[in-house]
Amino acid sequence: MLDAENFEIGIYGQWHLDYLQVHCKLTYINMIIIGELSRYISGVDRQAQERFELFVAQMIDAQGVTEQLKSENLWSRLEE
């Protein structure tokens, strides 16, 4: 159950919502009462998505992956 406002909630937000419902029931209920649950979960989801995208970009740089390398033959690289 989320607030009346419509916020985008992806997988990371859903995972955190599930965590609050199971492990932090009082916090979950208080956030519903004050009307901050959707905004909070949406913020958590956005931050987690940004961190994931940054991590992927750093891994691409560290591994030396280029568009040319990706287009040559992805499957042969995965088999190594």
pLDDT digits (tens, 9 = 90+) for 39-69: 999 999 999 999 999 999 998 888 877 777 6
- Please check the confidence at residue 18 and state whether its pLDDT lies above 50: yes
Look up residue 8 and give its two tokens.
Answer: 């985008």
- Note the helical H segments in the chain: 11-23, 25-34, 37-63, 67-72, 74-79
Q: With 50 as the cut, is the pLDDT of residue 4 above it?
A: no
* pTM tops 0.75, yes or no: no
pLDDT value of position 79 = 61
From residue 43, alpha-carbon distances to 8, 16, 55, 56, 77 in Å are: 9, 11, 18, 20, 36
Mean local confidence (pLDDT), 20-27? 97
Instruction: Share the mean pLDDT of the chain.
Output: 85
Average pLDDT over residues 15-30: 97
CA dist 54 and 43 (Å) reads: 17
